[in-house]
Structure 1
């Protein structure tokens, strides 16, 4: 008699780490485009590419289009579109690593929204993690010292949009599959961006079109890896490894744009990561807050 053993955790960790690499590569492409293309158009191109890549999945499984909670799916898609557009806009001014560091404040917004929207009881330890993360943001931004531009508000607001989208995810719960949620998010984002893009659209040249294709392909591929990972492993086990995106952002930011955060930015990033990891490594304590680690950090969705 054969026993079904769960796949080794190393496989799940590898899926998450590679997905974070793909998300960061997509951000590299987006940052390249952001120097000459409007953020709304870039977000639209990202969604367009994902729609084209997901079309075969929908054609093979039309049932993924059926949602038990379509209104929440629409709201979620809009929140995530706003989130990704703001982050792309930040790339015009901020370095890749700085922007990525700041979007990792999203778990702390999620904690606050979970308490406000659902009335969840959040432990003192979890609020301590939030305080540590906010202190890290303050170190990165250094308000009053003029080290970074006002554009730092963009990734922070992007994180707030992401957290709002994750609150919608929680309300959807297990009513829809992960694939259905992904398809709806992409479709809603594409539809909404299509309404705005005619006002800012500028034709792409050949090189820009190639970059846009790479951006959409890496972004969609990252989402598929995320779905594969969370199908087989508890979310809380994998959540800490999503912070690999900060490492990838530092490496690729330097390789692609010769950007290297200063010592204070690294120190602030360490505080942000410490706060997030503190929550992630105590899943039983923090699960009472209703915070699913799948929602802890994927702001590029």
Structure 2
């Protein structure tokens, strides 16, 4: 995978620490007399995943790092290192690892049934969503969350940006999040990214019916030299899935959603039409 960045640590130094993490894992495992398969069985991942951790190809989830500490009796070393590299307090605990994976993904596919994906959000839209979910927090808290969300979107600015696909439900185009002016700006931003061929977005029309209610938010990520993962989220928690069978089912669900969507051209026209509707509404209020 490409080097990760963020959290105030440069690309090179951050990757160097991950490589140290992997080298130390290998050293501790060999000292314990365990093969990759044997350690994997004890921490409930495959031996192949242990190999990927050791090569700094894939990053373990927190609970895996904690189980490695327990099995290898390393006094919390791997948990502390994980927290230093991944545990970004600007994000919910269950989402920090997802942000790390986004930075190294070669392809990201998302389904959004009710709220636009964070990678597509404008500041005004992100601010409105944050306040709606946290009505009693300070302005400083809101701005920190908005800043973090906009920072995530910088991966779409890079020359090595991932291939980005999104399937949106038409309902989210109609809800004036942040007011009609903010919503018009948001949809115009998405349309601009589509016209610039930075992202590939399609829309499931309201008339599609049941096929659009297959579940909540879904994100799929692919990598150059590691297996794909899936991420699902509800209002209060999220789950990162890397079991191959489960990821395959998630990919099939996404394929079915994509089939139900309008063509890219029709989707762009619908997004621009919705933006114009919100713009006209803003001009009359």
Which structure shows the higher strand fraction? Answer: 2
Of Structure 1 and Structure 2, which has the larger fraction of its residues in helix?
1
Taking structure 2 as the reference length, the TM-score comes to 0.28
Structure 1 length normalisation: TM-score?
0.27
The structure showing larger relative contact order (alpha-carbon pairs under 8 Å, at least 6 residues apart) is 1
